[in-house]
Amino acid sequence: MQIPVAEGLFAVNGAGVQLIGTRCCSCDTLYFPQTPGCRNPLCRDKQLEQVLLPDRGTLYSYTVQRYQPPALFAMDAWSPYALGLVDLGHGLRVMGMLDDVPLDKIAIGMALKLSLRTLTTDENGQSRVTYAFVPDTTKDHA
């Protein structure tokens, strides 16, 4: 049994993992996570719809979290991990954990796709999962 870290943040379906965002139909702007309003001051109608965001992107920048964050971030067998800022296109850049790539092999511009990462698993086998980005092996590096 997998429990997401937050409801409404991402969806797991036949197509894989996708982030749930908001699109303003009036000015064609994407937001993540879902937003109650369009922040574009020049947009007048601000008609919003829930959308599943692109599940592939390129790494804009990253860091490695070298010390343990506060307890609100729960992770079994904690060790340093990478955080990326991923360009999903359409002007949207999303932060998330980077997975399945050695910390010294991360490169700005690398192709990434969305995945799930298990953060904790309890004695009943119930796990808490978050979204993460992993190398997109179907695509060569930029």
Partner 1 sequence: MTKPVHVLGAGAHPWGKWPNRSQLQLAIDALAMAIDDAGLSWPEIQGLVAASSRFEGGMGWGLHANEVVQAVAEQGIPCVNVGGACAAGAIAFQTAYSMIASGQCDVVAVLGAERMPKGFIPRPPGSQDDITDSDYLRWVAMGATNPAYWAIEANRRKHDFGTTDATLAQASVLMRRNAAGNRLARFRNPTTIDEVLASPMVSDPLHLLEICPVSDGAAALILGSEQYVQRSGKRPVHVAGCAIATGQFGDPGRRIPTISSTVRDDVSHTSEVTTAVQRALAMAGMGPNDIDILEMADNTAWHLLAWPELFGFYEAGQGDWMLNNGKLDIGGDLAVNPSGGFLSFGEATTAQAVLQVCELTWQLRGEAQGHQVPDARVGMSAVLGLGANGGSVILKT
Counting contacts by CB under 8 A, is residue 25 touching partner 1? no
Q: Can you tell me which residue has the tokens 């919003």?
A: 48
Question: What is the rounded end-to-end Cα distance, in angstroms, of the chain?
Answer: 37
Counting contacts by CB under 8 A, is residue 61 touching partner 1? yes
C-beta separation of 57 from 133 below 8 A: yes
- Closest approach, Cβ 81 to partner 1, in A, equals 8
Question: Of the candidates 37, 108, 139, 142, which one interacts with partner 1 according to CB under 8 A?
Answer: 108
Nearest to partner 1 of 133, 135 (CB atom)? 133
Counting contacts by CB under 8 A, is residue 93 touching partner 1? yes
Counting contacts by CB under 8 A, is residue 32 touching partner 1? yes
Q: Any residues with CB less than 8 A from the CB of 67 and at least 6 apart, and which? A: 80
**How big is the chain by its Cα radius of gyration, in Å?**
16
Counting contacts by CB under 8 A, is residue 96 touching partner 1? yes
Q: Can you tell me which residue has the tokens 């702007």?
A: 29
Counting contacts by CB under 8 A, is residue 125 touching partner 1? no
Q: Which stretch binds partner 1 (CB under 8 A): 44-52, 59-67, 134-142?
A: 59-67
- Closest approach, Cβ 2 to partner 1, in A, equals 14
Residue 131: C-alpha distances to residues 20, 95, 117, 126 (Å):
11, 10, 6, 17
Q: Which stretch binds partner 1 (CB under 8 A): 44-52, 90-98, 134-142?
A: 90-98
